[in-house]
Structure 1
Amino acid sequence: MQGKVVFVNERLTGGGSERVMSILATEYVKLGIDTSMILLNEDIRTYDVPSEVRIIESYCPMKKKYICWHVKRIISLRKAIKESGADTIISFIWNTNLKVMLASLGLKKKIIISERADPAVYYNKKSFQFANKILFPNAEAIVFQTEEAMKYYTRKKQQKQVVISNPIPNNLPVYSGERDKRIVAVGRLTEQKNYKMLFDAFSQFYDNHRDYILEVYGQGPDLQKLKEYVIDLKLESVIVFKGYVSDLKQQIVSAGIYVNCSYYEGISNAMLEALAMGIPTVCTDCPVGGARLVIDSGENGILIPVNDQVALVKALFRIADNPELAKDMSEKAKFILDKYSAEHIAHEWMVLCG
């Protein structure tokens, strides 16, 4: 890969795209590539990056005049791109991609944009339709997590559109003892993650497995609402909200079951890392198909239909009541690290960048 690279994202806080960006930047620095990051929102940084990564802040406080505020954000981003001196821009998430395409007009940069979620959620938005038809086709390449996501995007003949999975970091802890009677869930506390179904399913499961607890790791706007829901279920002593923790992997590595109940996802980083650590995993087979790429249901994990509480309860019983099956799933799941290692995925990105 030739020249300098700059990553652009809204923030460096607790999200999947931010996690991928931090891992890729770390791998780029290891290879001696001049690497910068532009962050568009002021927020607490929960992901570490090497000191060699230059952080450029492009914050614009919200203004009452909404259109003027967006124009100022584009101007600020353009200045940040120039300041980075980068030859290649790598941008994450569709609305950030839109800003990057506008801010880079006439700058003669190689631009690679990346779709990180389910485009069906915002496909009918006028801003996405405009970007998809007018702006995104002018990017050098678009990176998707699944083939399913790619179908929503317009394409010019000369444009590269490729599928690249999320990377799994190399510093995952190892655990080989008897697993705890803990179910863990990791992610932002939002409606997308369907925590209420998880709590309802755990309530049924707990009736027959009183030695288990459920731990929820993450922050988000629905925290208070979800806490009240747990109180209504009278399960506040066994469903624990852990918030953000800096040593997440160390805290969950010995868990008995990992659960992801999302309505939609790209490829969940937490799911990938849970599998790689050998935590028996239950995940919804949700759009845009990321989970089914890595989970062979019944072999290295269990897939369930979206919003299917009955299937989730059955999956929890199946793992908890069959320790040999759980152990076998655990051992098979660890092999995904060979395919999705940080070095391997970073190499795919570098080949794309040229």
Structure 2
Amino acid sequence: MKKISFLIGSLGGGGAERVTVALADYFCESGYEVFFIVFSKANNNYRINPKIKIDYLPENTGKCAIFFRIKELKKLLKNQAPDYVISLGLGYQYLILGNLLNKYRFILSERNAPQYYYNWYQKIYVKYSYEKAYRVVFQTEDAKQYYGKSLEKKSKVIANPITSSIPDPYDGEREKRIVAVNRLSQQKNIFMLLRAMKRVLDVFPEYVLEIYGKGEQQEELEKYAKELNISDNVKFMGQKANVQTYIVNASVFVSSSDFEGMSNSMLEAMAIGLPVVCTDCPIGGARMVIKNNINGILTPVGDDRIFADEIIGLLKNPEKAKRLGKQASELREQLNVKKIAKEWEKLFED
């Protein structure tokens, strides 16, 4: 029986974590022995296959904390003796400082837009990690091309999977809600979304924007909503487990990011039949799955006027919104976990 160890940030939420849990479950049920090495303890928001063995790195603090954690990581990997170690954008400093990339077959995955997400020294050690890794997975062709030809032979583009646990597509009357699911951080440009919502409310004052997620900008965003005089129509809902059950009967899903890998919340919104309006942001995740005006709508990054116009257009034309949502829901079959996990499994065989 082959062994796979996954490095995972926490079990408390996050896009990369969700993909990790889905892949691990598939491999577990396909005859692999699967381990989790979890970097941070948090409330478990995922249904973890009981066959998966879970270990946690110690919660050390102080100047030497990383070295204590690297020592424990090395000990865990030695005991697990995996054939492959998979990390979705996590722990590259640990792998370099612990000299682990030369000892195990690491499959690493880029989860964001590297030209914007990393600072200069992070770009150096991330690229070094990819060059030393056994295989590298990118979410989009644009992300792969960013690193040039040096990774060509060892890299592959694989989209995120959509789990079967999400609700079925909704086909009834939709509530007057526009929904967003994301961290409240600068990258997501919620300020632009609020400006767009003000324009939408000028035409459709009965609608409400619900923002699901948490982050460091919440207080600023709440203040900005008040300045725009739309705070009564903007609800900050916090982070929710199984958030798809809360948004399935909304009118429109929106994503206003300045840059993004491949948004799980966008994929899942499409899979449950929501019409989506998303910025066509680097590194091409939205563009990879959205065919403009066929199964969703793409808009220029940062343009609140066009963003608002597209939302208004869908609210004025519910038949178009329904058509886009129905086309979007086909993604749940195209990107189901089994199909995507088999693409990962091929990396072991190549």
- Say whether the fold is shared (TM-score over 0.5): yes
Of the structure 1 ranges 331-340 and 257-266, higher mean CA displacement relative to structure 2 is found in: 331-340
Moved over 6 A (4+): none
Q: Pick from 75, 78, 81: which aligns with 1:82?
A: 78
Q: Which residue of the partner structure matches residue 140 of structure 2?
A: 146
Q: Which residue of the partner structure matches residue 273 of structure 2?
A: 278
Q: Pick from 144, 161, 165: which aligns with 1:171?
A: 165
| Gapped regions of structure 1 (runs ≥ 5) | none
Q: Contact 1:24 / 1:342 at 8 angstroms: preserved in 2?
A: yes
Alignment of 1:1-354 (within 5 A): 3-63=2-62, 65=63, 68-93=64-89, 96-103=91-98, 105=100, 108-122=103-117, 125-133=120-128, 135-153=129-147, 159-174=153-168, 175-354=170-349
Q: Contact 2:101 / 2:132 at 8 angstroms: preserved in 1?
A: no
**CA distance in 1 between partners of 2:230 and 2:22 (Å):** 37
TM-superposed deviation, 1:251:
0.9
Q: Secondary structure at the match of 1:270?
A: helix
Q: Secondary structure at the match of 1:315?
A: helix
Show CA shifts across 1:182-233 (max 9, x none): 1000011111111111111111111211221111111112222212222222
Q: 1:126 to 1:106 in 2, by over 3 A?
A: closer
**CA distance in 1 between partners of 2:36 and 2:149 (Å):** 27
TM-score of the superposition, structure 1-length normalised? Answer: 0.93
Q: 1:197 to 1:157 in 2, by over 3 A?
A: closer
Q: 1:40 to 1:270 in 2, by over 3 A?
A: same
Q: 1:323 to 1:130 in 2, by over 3 A?
A: closer
Show CA shifts across 1:24-43 (max 9, x none): 11212222321111111233
**CA distance in 2 between partners of 1:75 and 1:167 (Å):** 33
Q: 1:318 to 1:193 in 2, by over 3 A?
A: same
CA RMSD of aligned residues (A): 1.9
User: Which one-letter code corresponds to 2:15 in the other structure?
Assistant: G
**CA distance in 1 between partners of 2:293 and 2:152 (Å):** 41
Of the structure 1 ranges 304-313 and 153-162, higher mean CA displacement relative to structure 2 is found in: 153-162
**CA distance in 2 between partners of 1:130 and 1:198 (Å):** 34
TM-superposed deviation, 1:82:
1.9
User: Which one-letter code corresponds to 1:85 in the other structure?
Assistant: A
Q: Secondary structure at the match of 1:151?
A: helix
Q: Contact 1:60 / 1:72 at 8 angstroms: preserved in 2?
A: no
Q: Contact 2:60 / 2:68 at 8 angstroms: preserved in 1?
A: no
User: Which one-letter code corresponds to 1:51 in the other structure?
Assistant: P
**CA distance in 2 between partners of 1:130 and 1:246 (Å):** 33
| Gapped regions of structure 2 (runs ≥ 5) | none
The number of residues matched between the two structures is 348
Q: Contact 1:97 / 1:114 at 8 angstroms: preserved in 2?
A: no
**CA distance in 2 between partners of 1:261 and 1:157 (Å):** 31
Show CA shifts across 1:137-186 (max 9, x none): 12110000011111233665795100000000112212111111110000
Show CA shifts across 1:248-270 (max 9, x none): 11111111000000011110000
**CA distance in 2 between partners of 1:107 and 1:56 (Å):** 22
User: Which one-letter code corresponds to 1:307 in the other structure?
Assistant: G
TM-superposed deviation, 1:7:
0.7
User: Which one-letter code corresponds to 2:142 in the other structure?
Assistant: E
Q: 1:179 to 1:337 in 2, by over 3 A?
A: same
Q: Contact 1:137 / 1:159 at 8 angstroms: preserved in 2?
A: no
TM-superposed deviation, 1:12:
2.5
Q: Contact 1:38 / 1:55 at 8 angstroms: preserved in 2?
A: yes
**CA distance in 2 between partners of 1:324 and 1:158 (Å):** 44
**CA distance in 2 between partners of 1:158 and 1:101 (Å):** 22
TM-superposed deviation, 1:22:
1.1
Q: Secondary structure at the match of 1:275?
A: helix
User: Which one-letter code corresponds to 2:237 in the other structure?
Assistant: K
TM-superposed deviation, 1:10:
2.1
